[in-house]
């Protein structure tokens, strides 16, 4: 079943501010990244998917349902982790997630059991009876993820799940999200402005800018190899660049990298030969890949 489908979806706020404009996209099951700069329309789209906002025009479907006319039906099958939290500081994680499970329609006993299971999955089982007010930022993010899981949804909507986390916390959260998407049989929509994060864990990407769709495609297609070789040596970069230029190879610099157009196998041979002749420590020699960030760079360039 298609996860999400929109057709000419548009949302205009009071004062004529257009948050989404004519968005048409179809999203299939898996781990999906929704990316764009702050203000691109990501959070507005999530609120439309949950039925918290009404479209100005256009259509939206979530798991085949219309969140505008059946928001309760959508929310029964969708878990939502908001970007910002207002967790009651005096409640324990177990109490909070159990309560939210009951709000989702679970009987109290089932909600308590599911809360314990969800908190175990996110790594908070041992801490589940502590007041949430004493939790670190990373632990609070995990509580928010647990409450999104408690009613066993078919789809998770995660709005900036690594918000406020340090690098180690980001890595742990991304690993957890990837595990949920690959082992739990739950599809995940990850909303983020950090492109590197979605490239690491997502199968598919939806990129929006200024409320409009830039591209929706598999990550593999967006990060395919280019016809450019990236060469990196631990030392002697300038010396190598001079030697390659003398061999009639076009060379450009990007930080520590030398970029050389790949014509044929001889290009590899010439580079390897030059590195060997100069007795330089070769750190990297491979075909460069496209990056998701290039989508936005091209967009910015078109407005210059």
As assigned by CATH, the class of the 4-220 domain is alpha beta
∠ at Cα 38 (35, 39), nearest 5°? 105
Nearest in space to 211 (alpha carbons), one of 5, 27, 2, 43: 43
Q: Which fold has domain 225-294?
A: Alpha-Beta Plaits (3.30.70)
The torsion defined by the Cα of 13, 16, 19 and 20, in degrees rounded to 10, comes to 100
Average pLDDT over residues 196-207: 89
Q: Compute the distance between CA of residue 153 and CA of residue 80 in angstroms, rounded to an integer.
A: 9
Give the model's pLDDT for residue 193. 84
CB 62, CB 46: distance < 8 Å: no
Q: C-alpha 4: how far from its chain's center?
A: 16
pLDDT tier for residue 295 given thresholds of 50, 70 and 90? low
Alpha carbon distance 142, 136 (integer Å): 10
**Location of each CATH 3.30.70.790 domain in the chain:** 225-294
- Whole-number pLDDT of residue 303: 36
pLDDT bucket at 300, cuts 50 / 70 / 90: very low
What's the distance, Cα to Cα, between the start and end of the chain in Å? 41
Mean pLDDT score, 168-193: 93
Distance CA 267, CA 275 (A): 12
In this prediction the pTM is 0.78
Q: Is the pLDDT of residue 257 over 50?
A: yes
Give pLDDT, residue 15: 86
pLDDT tens sequence across 151-175? 999 999 999 999 989 999 999 999 9
Read off the pLDDT of residues 79-122 as tens digits, 9 standing for 90 and up.
999 998 889 999 999 999 999 999 999 999 999 999 999 999 99
User: What's the gap between Cα 161 and its chain centre?
Assistant: 9
Structure confidence by residue, pLDDT tens digits, 58-82: 999 999 999 999 999 999 999 999 9
What is the per-residue pLDDT across 129-147, written as a single tens digit (0 to 9) for each? 999 999 999 999 999 999 9
Q: Is the pLDDT of residue 304 over 50?
A: no
d(CA 121, CA 107): 21
Q: What is the pLDDT of residue 298?
A: 56
Mean pLDDT of 207-218: 91
Percentage of the residues of the chain whose pLDDT score is greater than 90: 79
pLDDT of residue 198: 85
Sequence-distant (≥ 6) Cβ neighbours of residue 229 within 8 angstroms: 259, 260, 261, 262, 267, 268, 271, 285, 286, 287, 288
What pLDDT is recorded for position 65? Answer: 97
Question: How many CB atoms are located within 10 Å of the residue 248 CB?
Answer: 7
The answer, yes or no, to whether residue 299 has pLDDT greater than 70, is no
Assess whether pLDDT exceeds 70 at residue 296.
no
Whole-number pLDDT of residue 77: 96
Where are the CATH 3.40.50.300 domain residues in the chain?
4-220
Sequence-distant (6+) residues with CB within 8 A of 59 are 5, 6, 7, 8, 9, 66
Per-residue model confidence (pLDDT) at position 302? 38
pLDDT, averaged across the chain = 92
């Amino acid at each position: 079943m298609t996860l999400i489908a929109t057709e000419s979806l548009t949302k205009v706020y009071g004062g004529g501010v257009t948050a989404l404009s004519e968005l048409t996209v179809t999203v299939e099951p898996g781990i999906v990244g929704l990316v764009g700069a702050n203000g691109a329309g990501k959070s507005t789209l999530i609120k439309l998917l949950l039925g918290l906002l009404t479209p100005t025009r256009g259509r939206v479907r979530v798991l085949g349902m219309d969140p505008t006319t059946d928001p309760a039906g959508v929310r029964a099958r969708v878990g939502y982790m908001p970007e910002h939290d207002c967790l009651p500081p005096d409640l324990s994680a177990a109490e909070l997630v159990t309560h939210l499970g009951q709000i989702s329609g679970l009987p109290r006993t089932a909600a308590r059991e599911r809360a314990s299971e969800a908190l175990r999955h996110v790594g908070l089982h041992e801490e589940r009876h502590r007041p949430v007010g004493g939790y670190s930022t990373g632990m609070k993010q995990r509580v928010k993820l647990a409450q999104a899981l408690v009613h066993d949804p078919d789809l998770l909507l995660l709005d900036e799940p690594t918000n406020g986390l340090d690098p180690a916390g980001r890595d742990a959260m991304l690993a957890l999200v990837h595990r949920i998407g690959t082992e739990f049989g739950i599809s995940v929509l990850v909303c983020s402005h950090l492109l590197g994060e979605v490239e690491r864990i997502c199968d598919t990407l939806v990129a929006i800018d200024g409320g409009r769709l830039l591209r929706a495609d598999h990550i593999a297609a967006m990060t395919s190899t280019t016809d450019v070789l990236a060469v990196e040596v631990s030392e002697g970069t300038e010396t190598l660049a001079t030697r390659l230029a003398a061999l009639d190879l076009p060379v450009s610099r990007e930080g520590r990298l030398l970029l050389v157009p790949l014509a044929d196998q001889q290009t590899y041979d010439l580079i390897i030969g030059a590195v060997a002749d100069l007795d330089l420590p070769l750190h990297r020699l491979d075909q460069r890949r496209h990056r998701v960030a290039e989508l936005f760079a091209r967009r910015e360039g078109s407005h210059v």
